[in-house]
Amino acid sequence: MGQNNDKEMYDNADKFIALANEMSKTVSHGEIGVAIRYAAARYSAFEASIRTKNLAEDKDEHLQFFANTFTEMLQMNFEEYINLQSKIKTS
């Protein structure tokens, strides 16, 4: 991903996070997390379906791609929150 694409992706992600933060005023964080993961899974299946002519045949390849991408993003964000927690504990 190029820098412009990265910025656009982060800006779009921030819109979803802002919506989740707004929803968290009346809905539990756990319920919001499940809803976001479900929405991501549903949209990813849709995305895969328009990228291939035979989703049944290519399903495993797409599952692996999305799983790897999510794991990388999740690990990166875990590290950010680990750093935040360690800073709070040392303050």
Q: Domain residues of the chain, as ranges?
A: 3-90
pLDDT of residue 30: 97
Tens of pLDDT, residue by residue, the chain (91 residues): 556 789 999 999 999 999 999 999 999 999 999 999 999 999 999 999 999 999 999 999 999 999 999 999 999 999 999 999 998 888 7
Structure tokens at 20: 């989740």
| Prediction pTM value | 0.84
pLDDT of residue 2: 58
Q: Are 62 and 69 in contact (CB under 8 A)?
A: no
pLDDT of residue 33: 97
CA Rg, the chain, in Å? 16
Return the CATH fold of 3-90. Answer: Helix Hairpins (1.10.287)
Work out the burial of residue 18: count CB atoms within 10 Å of its CB; fewer than 13 is exposed, 13-18 middle, 19 or more buried.
Answer: exposed
